[in-house]
Amino acid sequence: MNSVPVLTVKPWRALFDEKFHVVVGNLPPTQEVTLHSLHQSEDTDYWEAFGNYVSDAQGRDTGPGPFPGVLDMWGGGGSLVEYRAALLASHGFAAMTIIYLFPDHKKNTTIGYPYFENAFRLPQDHPLVATDRIALLGISAAVPVVLSITAYSKTVKPRCCVCISGTHTGRIEATQSIAEAYSRIEKLYKKACRDEKNHIIWRDVFLPIPEDIDLKVEMGRITCPLLLVVGQDDQNNATVESADDMKQMMERAGNSNLLTTLSYPGAGHLIEMPYSPHCKVSSFLKPLSRERVLALWGGLTKPHAVAQEDSWEKILGFLREHLCHSVKPHVQSRL
């Protein structure tokens, strides 16, 4: 017989400026719960609010925390993009986005491991965040950042990592700045080709995947679960080849059990949240040179939309599995 959820509200009656404490108990562990409050005013208008939560190991609505954390990093656009973190927060994660590529080139010369280590320490030090349950999430240009600091930093120890549309090449050394690391990549842009509409295609910049271990992250040093999201029609990055090489490196190192790969036919580079528009081509400002180009991201509309919807569900499942002590795995490899 299924257990019946128990809702407790204390106090059951209060003034408008007093707090109510709402606890939901008798739930299965890691059960997603939506609390809905509805009030009809004297003018017969309805006022309502929703709160999304995940029950703890004892089957209770976790309420005021501590919450699992996610440090979110976007790509080479160089701006602070927070809507993914906001959506993660609505799913019960204490999410924070950081910017690491600035319009001011001098600023980029100061951004290195200490910057990312301090950023990781911020949620760790927050009283409502579980210090040992913080993940790193990066897309595109942020992927080598996520992989590098996970592999080589002495203080950044994420519980798990999610890498979308990126590569392990372009390793960032502990003594390097972001400006130094990305200047190497911009020197390779001469290898880029253009299509008949003069859209720049950057995926060839990263090919062939180097065999020299000094030119890529040593994947054998990764000690936490890693989820890769790959679009097979990515025209901006060699994500398919990179995922294959990362898998081979981890198999040789004996830690391939930590790797899960989601690979989507017909999906392009910009795999974002579900129901976001498919952007195949757009204007793009190079992060260091500030040159504006028309970049081809790739992807076909329908399969790309399917990839966004499917991958987001599995990303959330992966984060819950490794940050929320889920008893059932949510993600299966599709490579």
Q: Which residues are catalytic?
A: 140, 234, 269
Taken in order 208, 211, 213, 217, is the CA torsion positive or negative? positive
Tokens encoding 113: 């491991």
User: Within 13 Å and on the Cβ side, how many CA atoms surround 72?
Assistant: 22
Nearest to 25 by CA among 74, 67, 71, 58: 58
Give the C-alpha distances (Å, rounded to integers) separating 168 from 148, 185, 231, 249: 8, 13, 16, 11
What residues pair up with 47 in beta bridges, in sequence order? 39
Burial of 81 (0-12, 13-18, 19+ CB in 10 A): middle
Counting Cα atoms < 13 Å in the Cβ hemisphere of 156 gives: 28
In contact, 233 and 299? CB cutoff 8 Å: yes
Find the length of the chain. 335
Contacts of 257 (CB under 8 A, 6+ apart): none
Task: State the DSSP code for 331.
Answer: -
Report the chain's C-alpha Rg in angstroms.
22
List strands edge to edge, sheet with 67-73: 94-98, 67-73, 129-139, 160-164, 226-231, 259-264
Handedness of CA 51, 57, 59, 65 (dihedral sign): negative
Residue for token digits 């709402």?
A: 22
Are residues 303 and 267 in contact, defined by beta-carbon separation less than 8 angstroms? yes
